[in-house]
Structure 1
Amino acid sequence: MFSTMISRSARPSSIRRTAIGLENRRTPIVRFYSSQSSTPAITRLLTDDPRMSKVVVHGGIVYISGQTDATADDIVGQTRNTLQKVDDLLEAAGTSKKNLLTASIWLKDIASDFQGMNGVWNEWLDPDNKPVRATVEAALAREVLLVEVQVTAAIGEKLGRNG
């Protein structure tokens, strides 16, 4: 992942390697920076919540915080509304679901809600640009919530297969 911070035009001589040694790891974490700056740019959007940003952009990647919806009473409605929030946040960051890289989905009751959530997901998803995805059961932040979705996406030009 750290290599994504290097532009394709960067020459090896202009790259400075910084290793962060961790005693309990066999391989140190290596971060790359261009010689022009020792701090990669980070953009934070929608930061009204005192605990977190809803969107963080770094190294050409958009990170969307976990999104939920409590206005609908069933999994289909909550999933549909949650994915609309994801669409809106991706658009605010200058990208779209065509550029999704990963999706993490948490369900309150996977046995009862997986099929309903998956039906809405399949309608929403761009079938030619599917991200990697994990879906698990979890206790969510509020009793009324049935689903939470968190995604990452590439930013910039449309990078999808048909984009």
Structure 2
Amino acid sequence: MADIERHHTNQRMSQIVKHNGTVYLAGQVGTAGASVAQQTQDCLDKVDALLAEAGSDKTRILQAVIWLADMADFDEMNGVWDAWVAEGHAPARACGEAKLARPDFTVEIIVTAAA
């Protein structure tokens, strides 16, 4: 049976879980109250750092799930996302609207990647 590695763990969640060659990241949020573009960039910077720590990178992302507090922000978020995604390595992706943990969060990004 393959071992499960958990990093940056507390009672509620782990920021990184590795199992059987796959890296699962907790949902990442940006600076509360910042613009949608800035929150998106903050999320992606955190994703980059966590993937590097897990021995992976954005070219190995299998799936991304993006939650927006308001779908009216779709184009602003995508402007940052599109500049960040490595050409030829776009993951399977879903984007939807959801009430996030705090009203001053506008974007949350969840990533699964190959190690």
Pick the TM interval, shorter chain.
over 0.9
TM-score by length of 2: 0.96
Structure 1: which 5+ residue stretches go unaligned? 1-38, 156-163
Which structure has the highest strand share of the two?
2
Q: Which amino acid aligns with 1:121?
A: W
Q: 2:102 aligns with which of 138, 142, 151?
A: 142
The alignment partner of 2:2 has SS state of coil
CA contact (8 A) 2:66 2:95 kept: yes
Counterpart of 2:25? 64
Q: 2:111 aligns with which of 143, 147, 151?
A: 151
Are 1:44 and 2:6 counterparts? yes
TM-score by length of 1: 0.69
**Structure with bigger gyration radius:** 1
The alignment partner of 2:27 has SS state of strand
- Partner Cα separation in structure 1 for residue 76 and residue 33 of structure 2: 13
- Structure 1 residue 71: deviation in Å? 4.5
Counterpart of 2:53? 92
- Partner Cα separation in structure 1 for residue 32 and residue 48 of structure 2: 17
Q: Which has the higher contact order (CA 8 A, sep 6+)?
A: 2
- Partner Cα separation in structure 2 for residue 72 and residue 119 of structure 1: 19
Q: Which amino acid aligns with 2:8?
A: L
Structure 2: which 5+ residue stretches go unaligned? none
